Structure formats: structure tokens, C-alpha cells
Chains A and B, each alone.
Chain A
Amino acid sequence: MSTQPSTHHKLGFWRTYVFSTDHKTIGIQFLFTSLVMILFGGLLAMLIRWQLGWPGHPLPFMEKIAPNGMPGGIMVPEYYNMLFTMHGSFMIFFGIIPILVGAFGNYLIPLKIGAPDMAFPRMNAISYWLFPPAALVMLSGFLMEGGAAQAGWTSYAPLSAIMGPGQTCWLIAVIIIGTSSILGSINYIATIINMRAPGMTFSRMPMSIWALFITAIMTLLATPVLASATAMLLLDRTLGTSFFLPAGMIVDGNALPHSGGQVLLWQHLFWFYSHPAVYIMILPAFGFVSDILPNFARKPLFGYKAMVYATAAIAVLGFLVWAHHMFVSGMNPALGTSFMAATMVIAVPTGVKFFNWLATLWRGSIRFTTPMIHACIFIAVFLIGGLTGIFAAALPIDIYIHDTYFIVGHLHYVLFGGSLFGAFAGITYWFPKMFGRQMSDGLGKVHAILTFIFFNAVMFPMFILGINGMPRRIYDYRQYAHLAHLEPLNRMMSVSAFLLFLTQMLFAANFLWSVFKGRKAPENPWESTTLEWTTSSPPPHGNFAKTPTVYHGPYEYSVPGRKTDWLPQTQRA
């Protein structure tokens, strides 16, 4: 294994902080960029909530920012469609995937397996430097005639094939960020297979590394399918091909010249990527929580092997369930049955995860730090995301709740309740290692608890809206007789959403203040066992002064007969 102690020489400013090939710098670049993207996606969500809480009421200052979208401060339907399209796309492609996979994958993998850097450091730098241009290309859609993409983050053809040029920007951006993901995943897989320190066998890898490893395999298998689908749609839009456009389409009274295309093909290809992508967005968070719980319960992770198998099972099954997004699409109902069966089965390995987390807390000695509180909130709210998935999997129920706010609630419990709380747990946990300083624990706890409260106040009523039959992506629901009474509830949700956004300012302030002014962090502030805590905070270029040797598993807490209640992986028992 090529884990020679490195002889890195000193580099200049640009090579150190901007065009760096150091995995730690690249990880932090991913972290900062994706946090900015999440902030932007959150701002878009605030505008969406404004329209839902106070439909048609003017927001005067917006006239200057979006003169076409909000003339006189009043939102037009096209602009509303752009907002939710961009909210979803930014949060998923530029927020959650890069923060969980890009930031933590880059930062943690070499440190946690005892390697000096990634297998392909330059490719790693390229994978980051594709990210800002992709975001800019997608954003540039707002400058196009007719505005940004407005076919939803799912960009269902044929609507996405006939909309204005903003959609072309969307497609190009997705191809660029997809390329970034593919490069990153090749790197992660090569690094984990080849660069583990002596003694770091697969069965001694921390769960976060297992999760990132399996996530990388999923990314590598699924993303090319998305890239092909987007390329085909791009051809349909620009060169007049007919992959997704059937014969006989009449748009606005004009017959289109296409023939032979299949509308449902887009959905099959898109979800063949995007359902695994749901697991790409949640497995790393599972991994972080599985690292954090034993640390603060001071107890080995319960059922390590079962956790690894469950992660792998979720990944395999994740590839077999894509058409559960298509139960009402008009595909053969018999297919619905098999996809329901596969979807229901995913509940089993996911349940195994929950039970093992609970059993890890059982008879522990629990310390309530900020990362631990985020991890516990993750368990509490992701549970709702998982259980509501069972409603969506049950075919007859899905006929009704499909494309309603029930699904919007479900996906926010998964992607905010799961992925983002996982990210918060990860950031607050590894912050001392990344920046050599501590975040304020008091402020961190206030942020965690308030986020928990306001998150539930926004997202839980979505299930009620869905049960009432309120469709998603709807500019004004009040015209429908059975939905008009939902305005006060929507207003309450919007107020909670604004408070949720404000609460995130607490986090931003704590984060930025602590980067520069936080209390200096020791090497191992949490008294943890894994390799990243055996080097300085932040680690030097090359990570370890001497290649570490690993003697046992990652969660040796409270080993009987020892003075301290943690046994680092590098220490002989």
C-alpha cells in the first residue's frame, strides 16, 4: 500500500488555498460552496413560502431583483415555477450531494483510512472546479429569454423539451455536475481500495467510510445514466431528435414534427439515477450518525457488521425501486406490484439501522454535545421520513398522495430531516479537526433545538395538506373548493419557514465566528478512537507525521480494565 509518509514542500497562496490538490482544502472548498448554495436554495424556498402563505400579495423589494418575475412585487406563475425548479435543483445537485459526498468524502476518506491524500489528487481538484461553473450555468438560466428552467427539478419531458432556453442551461449544468460526481466517485473508490493504512482492513473501517464507499459505487453506476438522459434531452431540444417526443404532439395549436419518441423513457432514465441519488443523499448521513453515536454514548456501535450489510442492502435495493415514482404514470400496473414489493423491502435494512442506533444508546453513558443532539434529532425526524415512505410505497395510497404535498413532506423529512441534520451533525463534529478551533457549543445547541422545532412546524403540516389533496408545484391552490380552507395553515407554515431560515443565521454566525475566533481545539477534543483524531487539528499537508498502523475496529469505547474510556485504533490493546 502506497502510504509513504509524504515529503510535501511548501506551496504558494494560490496552490494552497485555491487550486489546491490537498484533499482537505478541496473538502473545505466543497463545504463552503455547498453551504452558500444551500443558503441560496433556502432563499428561493422563502419566496415559495411567501406565495403559498400570502398568494398574490406584493413583496415590493422583489420588483428590483426580479422585474419580470415579480412585476410590482407580485409573483407571476412562471416565476413561481422557476423558483421551485431552482430550489429543488440547487438543494439536490449543488447543496446536499456536494456537502455530504464532496465535502465530507474528500475531507474524511484519507484521514480516516490513514492515507496522506487521495489516489488522484489532480482529478479531485478538477471535480471541485467543475462545481462552481455548473452552478453558474444553471443560474445563468435566469438571464435567458423566458427565465430559468421551470419544468421542476425532475424536468419531465416533453414539457422540458418545449420550454425556453433556461432549460438548456439546466441540462448543461446537470451534465457538468454529473461529471464532477463521476470523477469524485472514481477517486473515492480507488482511494479506499488501495490506500488504507497497514492494519486498516475493510472490517475495521468506520461506518462513515463504508457509507461513502458504497455511495461512491452508487454514484459511479447511476450518474452516467442521468448524463445520457440529459444529453438525449439536450439533443431533442437542439438538434430535433425525438428520444422523448412522440408523434402527433400539438402544442399551442402547432403540430410538432417529431415522431417515434417515448415520453415515459425520460422518467425511467431519470429515476434510474434519481432514486439511487436519494440514497446517495442519505447513506453518508447514516455513516456520520453511526460514528457520532458511539463516540458520545461512549459505547461500541451495536451490530457493526449488520450495519455494513444493511448499508449494502439499501444500496442494492435502491437500484431496483426507481419506478415507484411512476405508479400513476400510465405504465403497466403489473410493474407497479414488483416495484412496490422492492420498495417495501427497503424498510427492512433501514429498520435494522434504526434498531442498532437505539441499541447503541442503550446502556451507554450519553454526553449531550451539539453533534450528538443533531444525531439524535436525525434519528427522531428521519424516522418520520422513512415511515411516510411506506404510505407512498403502498400502491393504492400512492394513487391518491402522488404529486401532492404528502410527497413534499416525505421528501423534506428525508432530505432536510435526514441529510441536512446529518450534515449539521457532521459539521459540528469534525469542525475542530477541519479548522483547529471549536464552535460555540451553547449557540450550537440553541440552533439545533430551534431548527428541530421550526423544521417540524413547516414540514409536518405538509402531510395534512397532502391528505386534503393539495397538489405540489401549485401557484395558487385557493381556487379549488376542497383546498381553499388551507390558507391559514399554509400561512402558519410560512411563518415557521421564515423562522427556520432565520435560525440558520445563528449557525452561519457561529460557523464563521468560530473559523476565525473559536477556542483552539486539541488533537482529539471528543476523545474519539478513529485515525483523524490522532493527528493535529487541522492536520498538516500529508496528514500524518508517520503512517499509522491500525490494531482494531473503530468503536472501542469503554473497554473494560482500561484507565480511559476510549482506545484509539492506533493503540495496541
Chain B
Amino acid sequence: MRSDWREPVRAPRAALRVFGAALGALTVVPTSLWAQDAPARARYWFPPAVSSYGGKVDHLFMVVLWITGIIFFLVEGALLYFLIRYRRREGQPASYIHGHTGVEVIWTVVPAIIVVMLAFSSQRVWSYIQGPPPPHQLEIEVKAEQFAWNIRYAGADGQLNTADDIETINQLHLPVNQVVLVHVTSKDVIHSFFLPQFRIKRDAVPGLNTSIWLQPITEGHFEIVCAELCGLGHYRMRGFVVIESPEAFRAWLEQTKRAG
């Protein structure tokens, strides 16, 4: 320990300058690269959103990012400023202050208002995603097992869990723009049915049948991720999602039925 910790702290200007320059470079360089290079930005950000509610989730994320980002810079800024401005200096004793009720009230009430507003905007999106689904055109069942996704489509009778059901493993095809009701459950342990580009995730729980709804809005090839640890093969419990035109989807279903 330095024996003179009670002595005034002189700001070592050279060190401060180097530190400041390094900090500046560390902030400015990645930020400017980020700002200019749209492909790089996309690479290290959300995968593209392809469901009807994906955009709402991303928007809410950005709202929270802005709010918390501003708070972050204000608090860190105040911390740095106070540390530099009120470092020990000759002839500048500390003030004898125990507190102030007024400011305590302000910094209790203002954050409370902010979080209540955040809770309300979150609730709006949550009840859209998790509330009663809009009328659906397709109903499927996803039954997880170690380590695969069993996907079941209704056959000609339009009913799930009847003899003419069409079953696939790890292949989820969906017609674009149609609302799909997905029943999620599991045979053995908990898995989690995660479609990153849809911004949806639901645990597949044995002994429990729950449902979510989806509406894909872009055609393309995507993946199902298992997001809940389910054993040694958890990492390779991957499924495939194809979003295609309703015609292509019907043709695929027909072909799968014949093959199965």
C-alpha cells in the first residue's frame, strides 16, 4: 500500500491523455465502422425477422436500448465526472451532507414512471403474441424428443391426432402469410422450440400441451433451435424451416404424405 494515500491525488496528465485517446479510439472506431458498414452491422445483430410480430419485438428492443442507453451514459458520465472533479485536492475538503429528501423522492418517482411505461408497452406486445390467436388457417403439433422435432400436420380430415395425420421429422414447412397454430409438447424431457427469425420460443414440456401462433411473412429457409438443455445431444437438436408459397406448401405436403 502506498503510505501517502492521504495525500492529494494529482491527475497524471500524460496518463490521462493516453487513457482518454485509447478510450476514444475504442469507442469511435467500432462505432464508425458499425455506422458505415451495414452488412457488418447486420452480421452482429438480430437475424432478419420473418414473422408478423418479429418487427414489434425488435422495435421494443430498440426502445428499451435507447432508454437504458441514455441512463447508462448519464450514470457512467456522472461517475467519471465526480471521480475526476472531486478527487482529493489541497484546500478542498469534503462536504458534510447526509442526504436530501427531495432528491430521494425525485429519483424514486422518475424511474418508477419510466418502468411503468415500459411495462405497459411490453404488455401490449406480449398480449398480441401470447393472447388469443387470430383465426388460423393451419394447425400443427410439434412434439420434441431427445434429440429431434416430430412435426404433425392434419390429413384430409383437417383434424390433428387422427389416422391420416402427416408426420415429418425435423422438417417444418409453412405457407407464407398464413396464421399457424402450433401445439408444443414433449415425449421425454424439457426442450425449447426456438425460431430465432420468428422471435418466438416456447418450452416443450412433457405432460403439458401449450400452443403458440405464427405468421411467416417472408419466404426462405431457416432453422429450429433447441434452446433448453435436454441432454448430450442438445447441441445437435436442429430442425429446418421452409417458408414457401401456399401452392408449394400443398405440393410438399402431398409428396410427404405419399412418401410416408
Contacts and interface: CB of A to CB of B under 8 A. Distances in A.
A313 B5 CA distance: 36
Contacts of B94: 297-299, 363-365, 557-558, 565
Contact of A159 (B100, B118, B231): B231
Nearest to B113: A348
Interface in A154-200: 156, 158-159, 162-163
A400 B199 CA distance: 5
A11 interface: no
Given A156-B190, A474-B234, A302 B111 contact: no
B13 interface: no
Decide if the interface of chain B is mainly helix, strand, loop or mixed. Answer: mixed
A64 interface: no
Interface of A: 76-78, 81, 150-152, 156, 158-159, 162-163, 246-252, 261-264, 297-306, 328-330, 333, 336-337, 340-341, 344-345, 347-348, 351-352, 354-356, 358-359, 361-370, 376, 379-380, 383-384, 387-388, 390-391, 393-397, 399-400, 402-404, 438-442, 444, 464, 467-469, 471, 473-477, 479-482, 485, 489, 519, 525, 527, 557-560, 565
10 contacts: A81-B232, A298-B93, A333-B127, A340-B126, A366-B82, A379-B79, A388-B68, A390-B67, A391-B65, A476-B236
Given A387-B68, A390-B115, A400-B57, A330 B86 contact: no
* Most A-side CB within 10 Å, residue of B189, B202, B210: B189
B26 to A, nearest CB: 10
B49 to A, nearest CB: 10
Nearest to B59: A396
Contacts of B119: 340-341, 344, 394
Given A365-B93, A482-B196, A404 B2 contact: no
* Most A-side CB within 10 Å, residue of B72, B98, B235: B235
B190 A159 contact: yes
B33 interface: no
Contact of B9 (A301, A354, A366, A370): A366
A363 B93 CA distance: 8
B116 to A, nearest CB: 7
B225 interface: yes
A397 B86 contact: no
Contacts of B227: 402-404, 471
Nearest to B202: A328
B231 A246 contact: no
Contact of B6 (A367, A370, A404, A557): A367
A261 B115 contact: no
A251 B207 contact: no
A413 to B, nearest CB: 12
Interface stretch (B102-110, B151-159, B171-179, B249-257): B102-110
Interface in B1-35: 1-2, 5-6, 9
A390 B120 CA distance: 13
A240 B71 CA distance: 52
B149 interface: no
A358 B75 contact: yes
Nearest to B204: A330
Interface stretch (B38-46, B134-142, B161-169): B38-46
Contacts of B103: 355, 359
A313 to B, nearest CB: 10
Contacts of A297: 86, 94
A527 B6 contact: yes
Given A300-B97, A391-B64, A468-B47, A344 B56 contact: no
A519 B60 contact: no
B72 A480 contact: no
B43 A248 contact: no
Given A358-B79, A365-B92, A394-B60, A303 B238 contact: no
Contact of B207 (A248, A388, A390, A441): A248
B137 to A, nearest CB: 23
Contacts of A248: 206-207
B235 A475 contact: yes
Contacts of B235: 77, 474-477, 479
B97 A399 contact: no
B207 A247 contact: yes
Give the 9 A-B CB pairs with smallest separation, nearest first.
A246-B207, A469-B196, A333-B130, A441-B1, A303-B99, A475-B235, A395-B126, A396-B125, A361-B82
Contacts of B98: 300-304
Contact of A328 (B56, B203, B231): B203
B229 A473 contact: yes
B1 A519 contact: yes
Nearest to A561: B96
A442 B93 contact: no
Interface in B194-227: 194, 196-197, 199-203, 205-208, 210, 222-223, 225-227
B246 interface: no
A381 to B, nearest CB: 10
Contact of B108 (A251, A352, A364, A527): A352
B47 A337 contact: no
Contacts of B71: 387
A158 B190 contact: yes
Contacts of A300: 96-98
A365 B89 contact: yes
Nearest to B126: A395
Interface string B180-197: 000010011110101011
B56 A396 contact: yes
Contacts of B2: 441-442
Contacts of A156: 189-190, 228-229
Given A361-B82, A383-B76, A299 B202 contact: no
A367 B229 contact: no
A78 B235 CA distance: 11
Nearest to A369: B5
A345 B113 CA distance: 10
Contact of B44 (A305, A306, A380, A468): A468
Nearest to B129: A396
Contacts of A557: 94, 96
